[in-house]
Structures are given as structure tokens and as C-alpha cells.
Amino acid sequence: MPFGVAFGVAASEAGLEAWQASAFSLFVFTGSAQFAAVDVIGDGGSALSAIAAGALLNLRSLAFGVVMASALTGPWWKRALWSQVMIDETTAVGSAQTDPALRRYAYLWTGLVLFVCWNLSTLFGAAVLSSSGDLVHDLGIDAAVPAAFLALLWPRLADPGQRHSALVGGAIALALLPLAPPGVPILAAALGVVAGWRSATPRPAGAPVGEPVP
């Protein structure tokens, strides 16, 4: 819930209307990608770099799909609809069950609950909280965005490969920040994976790393 509120505030900080913030939460429905894209927009980056930053960050949904595919059976339109809630939490809860029917059930209910919470909290953040610009500054709400990214990153840092990837990625972004157009430092940071590639401990395909419940 607070994560959704934070997104709503971040979106209006970046100059988005409340309906646009809500549309992101309805259609994109992927917390970290939404934050990343909105952050690039707010800094005045190009549309292409905002899309690329969000999409690269969520390459992992591809792996979640592989994990859940066997449980999501039925006509194509049902599978198409169900895929919208393919996120860290639903994959984690769904894949914890052993029976395929239970997997689907757990996945769908988690998805439905999160979808509703995420969208309501986004709307609250975008329409109610953001209306007072000075308040956002005085209450330090603008610090919520970097703190949220740090909290998403934190559980990954236990692994050396992830740590190297993060360190090099962060350093690239810092170095390019004053030089490159907005959005580009974030995309260039993707090269940080090269540093983590050798030292990474392979994880089972699609094993989600604790993203918070919105």
C-alpha cells in the first residue's frame, strides 16, 4: 500500500496528471518499472529511454512466466488476462503451492488483491497527497523515491554477483549524470551486469527476490 502511495506522489512530482499515474498502475502494473519510467520522465529524459529503463528492469517477468506457465492452463484469452498480474509477489505465492490448481488459485487471488490495493493507493497518492507541493518538500516525501529504490535493491546485495553488478551500475550512473542526457545514465548502468556475471551464484529460474507487497 505505501509503495503505491509513493508511486502516486512520485508520478505527480514528475509532472503526470492523476489519471496518467492511475493508467500506469492499471496497465503497466509492475512497481519497479513504473517508478523507473516516471523517474526518467521527471528528469526530462526521452520517452525511449524511460521505456527501455522500465522494460530492462522487468526482464525478470519473463522468467516468472516460465515458472507459472504450467499452472495457467485454459483458453488463450484467460491466459492473456491472467498474465497481467505476473509480478514478484504473485509468482512467489503461486509457486509455493504444489498442486497446479492451487498454484493458479493462489497466483490469481494474490494478483487480484494486489491489483486493487496498488491502484487505489496510486490514486490516493496522485490525487490527494500530491496536491500540496510545499508539503511534499517539507515532509521529505521526495526522499521516498530513492529510499524505495534502495529498499528494492537491499535484499539482492547479499549475493556477491548482485553486489558487483549494483556497485558498477551505480558508479556508471554517477559518472554519467552530469554529462549525458537524462535517462541515459540509468540505461548505461545496465553494463554493470558484466561485473556481476562471473561471480553470480546461479539462482533457480524465476526465483523472485523479495520485492515488497505494494
Partner 1 sequence: MTATVVLVGLTVCTYALKAAAPLALGGRPLPESVVRLADLLPAALLAALVVVSGVAEDAAIAVDARLVGLGAAAVALSRRAPFVVAVVAACAATALARAM
The answer to whether residue 30 forms part of the interface with partner 1 (CB under 8 A) is yes
What is the nearest approach in angstroms of partner 1 to the Cβ of residue 122? 13
> Which one of 7, 12, 58, 115 is in contact with partner 1 (CB under 8 A)?
58
| Region binding partner 1 by CB under 8 A among candidate stretches 50-58, 113-121, 126-134 | 50-58
Is residue 37 within 8 Å of 176, Cβ to Cβ?
no
The answer to whether residue 112 forms part of the interface with partner 1 (CB under 8 A) is no
Looking at residues 168 to 207 of the shown chain, list those that interact with partner 1 (rule: CB under 8 A): 168-170, 172-174, 177-178, 181-182, 185-186, 188-193, 196-197, 200, 202-203, 205-206
From the list 109, 126, 129, the residue with the least C-alpha distance to 11 is 126
What is the nearest approach in angstroms of partner 1 to the Cβ of residue 80? 6
| Sign of the CA dihedral running 44, 45, 51, 56 | negative
| Region binding partner 1 by CB under 8 A among candidate stretches 116-124, 126-134, 144-152 | 144-152
> Which one of 33, 92, 93, 123 is in contact with partner 1 (CB under 8 A)?
33
Query: What CA–CA distance (Å, rounded) separates 212 from 150?
Result: 12
**What track of x and - describes contact with partner 1 for positions 84 through 103 (by CB under 8 A)?**
x-xx----------------
Number of residues that bind partner 1 (CB under 8 A): 108
The answer to whether residue 108 forms part of the interface with partner 1 (CB under 8 A) is no
What is the nearest approach in angstroms of partner 1 to the Cβ of residue 116? 18
The answer to whether residue 126 forms part of the interface with partner 1 (CB under 8 A) is no
From the list 27, 24, 15, the residue with the least C-alpha distance to 122 is 24
Residues in the chain: 214
Query: What CA–CA distance (Å, rounded) separates 195 from 211?
Result: 23
What is the nearest approach in angstroms of partner 1 to the Cβ of residue 49? 9
Q: Which amino acid is at 106?
A: A
From the list 65, 70, 60, the residue with the least C-alpha distance to 211 is 60
> Which one of 18, 63, 97, 131 is in contact with partner 1 (CB under 8 A)?
63
Is residue 52 within 8 Å of 186, Cβ to Cβ?
no
From the list 117, 116, 88, 90, the residue with the least C-alpha distance to 103 is 90
What is the nearest approach in angstroms of partner 1 to the Cβ of residue 75? 11
Angle formed by the axes of helices 88-95 and 60-68, to 10°?
30
